[in-house]
Structure formats: structure tokens, C-alpha cells
Structure 1
Amino acid sequence: MRLLVLGGTRFVGRALVEQAAALGHQVTTFNRGRTGQDVPGVEAVRGDRENAADLLSLVDGREWDWVVDTSGYVPQIVGNSVRLLSSRARAYVFLSTVSVYPGWPAEPVSEDSETYECAPDTPGTAEDEANWTAAQYGAYKAGCERAVQEAFEGQVTILRPGVILGPMENVGRLTWWLTRITRGGRVLAPGDAGKPIQPIDIRDLTAFTLNCLEKGITGTFNLTTPKEHTTFGGLLNACRAVTGSDAELTWVNDEFLVEQKERQWTAIPLWRTPAGTWAVDSAKATAAGLTCRPIEETVRDTYAWLRESGGPLAYDRQAHHGLSPERERELLELWDRR
């Protein structure tokens, strides 16, 4: 099949392109060529989706069976793209986020949960996306979903992943933990080792995306692992095992870290105390064919990629993640005294 990927050079987009090409699909990517490298063997069209002339050049003389949008952040910009592509493809997948739910992470969510109110023609630019607040990011993504649903005349699938981990991760979550545990010594481990977590492997996400296209599956799906798939302790122990590190995990309870006013989700990657953080219902996706590999496989393959590649591509969000060695030592000393 002929597939157009809006994006396609980093993390989710690149993994999708690689998998689609490996399956024999004819792939075209559309991007600015600034943040990653093209996958060999695919047609790469340079352009900025915020530029009307570039969009017109993309669709001139081209048609596809499927479109996957991995780079949509601003509703008005997404809507403009969709209107031009509506007559050029029969199916459209939009990569959204669980952040579209204003109730998340404070409370559990399902696909039926309320989403942010945001008009499908809300203007703006994606240039500052890495610095948006969580609420702005979620609201804009909700507006993008509406833009796709209103403007595309064919089959529409909306995917709302939670945390995505795996090879090529550029946000700095699992990569930070692997790097930290490789150094060894006492490692501050946050909260409860037995706490269930729900990160999804990038390759399971992209496989589900292509499965939806191949089988004509439409609708809206949360994409996380099942609620009992793994734990925070399982993740960190997998990091310790794959690195061969002598790291000693020191589990520090949530109450102490909250008292110390540590930034949740970023200063200690993946640590968050609200009840709904890891309570995303993804049973609908599981019923539609989503399968999730063990966390040990995700950690192993990410570590192998990290060693081979030298690290992720530059991305503004990386600077937001991780404790400094000095702050970690300070917290551990305070914890010991307590």
C-alpha cells in the first residue's frame, strides 16, 4: 500500500516508517528535514505543513491509500493539511495523546472520558511545543482530533498513547534511567517498587497503527500496556540487569519526595503520584489487536540502541528530565537522616 507519513524522521514517525517499509509498503514522508534523517528507500518530500505552498506541492500529482500524522500539534494547521489530503487518501490516522483528558492524571480515564474543549480552527505555531504547559498541549491535541474528524471524509482513527518508550526515544525518560543506573552506586528510586506502570513500546504502537490501517479499524483508542503489565521496580531492575550495573536501588517514598518539592514526571522521570497516572484503560485497543512486549525487551533493545547510536537526537524536552548527581545525593542524605 501507499503510505504518507507526516513527520517520519524521529522516534514515533521514524519507527513507523521503518516498520512500514520493512513490510513492503510504499512510503512517502513529508517534513522539514531539520530534526532527523530520512529512512533509506522512502520518498522524502521536503516542506513545512504551516506553509500552504508546500502542502500544495506535496499533493500535486500524488495519491496515497493511507496517511499517518505524527507531527500535528496546532488545530488550524492540522485542519489545513487534512482538507488537502481528504481527496488524496482513504484512511487517516492521527497520533494524539492521553493528555487530551483534563481529568488525567488526577483520575483514571477511558476513551469515554471528557476531553478538553478546543476549536478545530484554533491558530498557532508548533515551534514552541516543547515548552507548552501540559494543559495547552492536551487542549491543542484535542482540537487537532476534531480538525481531523471534521475535515477528513474517509476512515479516521485517533490514537491516544500514554508514555512511549523504546529505541530512538528522544524525550529522555528511559534513556535517563539507563544512563544513571549504568553509573552505579546508590540510585534514588521513587515511590513504591510494586507500583504498576503502563509505558508502551514504540514498536507495539507502530504495529497497532499499521494493523488498524491494514484491517480498516477506525475509532479512538488509548494506547498503553495493560494495568498489570509491569511495575516501576520491574523497569528499574531491568535497567540494572541489562547494564550489568552494581547500582543499589534505594526506594524513597512518595510523601518524602513531595515534601522536598521535586518536579514530578520530569526531575525523576516517570515518577508521578496522582491516582490516574497509570490507570489508563486500554482494553479497547487490546480487543482490537494491540499486543505488548515485556518491559525487559524494551529496556534491552533501548540500551543496545543507546550504546550503538551514542544517544538520542537533540530535543528541547531532554533538558527537563533527570536529577543532577548533587541533588540526588542531597535527597538520599536527607532520606537517611529521616
Structure 2
Amino acid sequence: MVAQVARPATRPAPEETTRTRRRRPLGPALGHFASFAAPGVLVYACFVLAPILVSLGYSLTNYNPFNPPTRYVGLDNYQLLLRDDQFLTALRVTSILTVIVVIVPNVLGLAVALLLDRHGWLYNALRSVFFTPVILSSVVVSVIWSRLLDSEGPLNEALRALGVDQPPGWLSDPAVALYSVASIISWQMLGFCVVVYLAGLQGVPVELQEAAAIDGAGPVRRFRAVTWPMLAPALTVNTVVLLISAFKAYDYIKVITNGGPGSGTTATIAFNVLQTGFDANHGGYASAMAILMLLIVAVVTAIALRFLQRREVDL
């Protein structure tokens, strides 16, 4: 008998192996991805998308819970908003407040972070002190500053003791009240900016600083050429967070000034939305105001984010 020689198993060509791998079913992978993503998507859909869609639906009606029936009015609410002096005033107030809150904590936060970028227990304690207002409730902060800035409060009493006969009406003067509120919000958000900038400063390589110093660059030149470019991501985070926080400010306005003094001198868009929807019961009109505010915030945030991220790449 002739012994049969076993033939070696033929290996598939590399192209065939690649095709086989590509043809593997994606079902299990998609199933695992869906199992992990489903809870987050469900929460997002229930608490973000659903309220937006409901508000969008109400904004196209004359919805008033105490004055039925509800009728479809189309874009009438949006057209009325563009001619509403109260809404346009609120838009101007919100814009001024947002500009102040974005600039002041960013500038002061960077300065404080540069001063606290040291080692030692004292600097660690100061970091905690600056961050403490961030963890406080905005209502608590508003109540505290309302007492401090009252006409007969400690600040005005100190100014009178220094010889100032007519201290400013920090919260009662229409020309000053908005800037007082913006200062309070900036004070609370300062600690957040300090922490973010400190994290960015700790990520700056020491070798770059030393190399710049060896080349003869002074402190200002080293900051401009080395430190500031490395802080671009921190600037992006702070700017976007401050922009969104300032544009939707409501609780500070409600507690400190209630939209006054005068006629809407500190009333923001968010404040008007709550007043129109719950006090005047014009739910449809308030929903249109909220949707328009959402669009403005989304567009402005997208533009700012795109500009700042492009700056990160350029640097």
C-alpha cells in the first residue's frame, strides 16, 4: 500500500483574510454599543430633547392654561417678539451682562492663577478660598450680596465713614444695578476660572520655560510666547461656560433686583420667560421666547467655540 502523504493546509491569501474580517457581522458590536449608550440616550431624550420639542410645539400656539381653547397661531409669537420692546430690552440687558461676565472672571481668574501657581500650604489654602464661592448656591450668594449692597448695608456705611456723603445706590440706581449684578456673578465664577487656568499652568512644560529663559526672554516675553499659547484650551472652557451661565441667568435677577429697579433695567431673557409663562400665564408666548433664547445661545456658543478651537490649532 502506498502511504498517503497529508497535504498541508492551504492558508488563505491576505486579501481573502481581509475580506473575511470585513464580512463579519456587526450585530454583536452594535448590540454592545446600544446596551451601553441606551441609558444615556434615554435620559438625554427625556430631559433635553422632549422639553425642547414640547416648548417648540407650545410656541406655535396661544397656549394659556387659564384661557382655553388653545389655537395654532404659527409664527405669530416669533413675529411679535421681534417687535416687543420688552423683549428687545431684555436682549440688550442680557448681552451687556454676558459680555461683562465673560471678560471680567477670565481676566481676573488668569491674574489670580498666575499668582497662585506656587507650591506651599499657603497657596493651597488660597486656592480653596477662591473656589469656595463656586460651590455655594446662587440664591445664597444673591442674598448675601443683597445685604452687603443695601443702601444701609455695610459697604455704604463704610463709605460714609470714609467721608462719602452720597454712596451709590448699588441695587436701587437703574444706571448701576445691572453692573452690580454682573459683578456678583463674576465674583462667584472667578474661582472656577482660577481652577481651570491653574490646571492649564501646571500643564506647561518646565523645559520650555527654562529654554526661553536661557534665550534671554523676560517674564512678560515668556508668558506671551510660551504660557499664553498653552492656555488656549483653558480659555476655551472658561469662555464657553461663562457665556452659557450668563445668558441663562435668572436666579440672581429674581433674588437681587426682581427685574428692577425701574422698568426692566436688569430683566434678562430668562427672567422674562419665567415672568411671562408663570406670572402672566402666556405659555405660548413664553415658549417662543425660550426657543429664541435657545437659538441665540446655540449660535453664539457655536461661533465662540469654533473661533477658540481654531485659535488652539493656530497656536
Q: TM-score, normalised by structure 2?
A: 0.24
> Which structure's residues are more often strand, by fraction?
1
> Which structure's residues are more often helix, by fraction?
2
Question: Structure with the greater relative contact order (CA < 8 A, sep ≥ 6): 1 or 2?
Answer: 2
Larger-Rg structure: 2
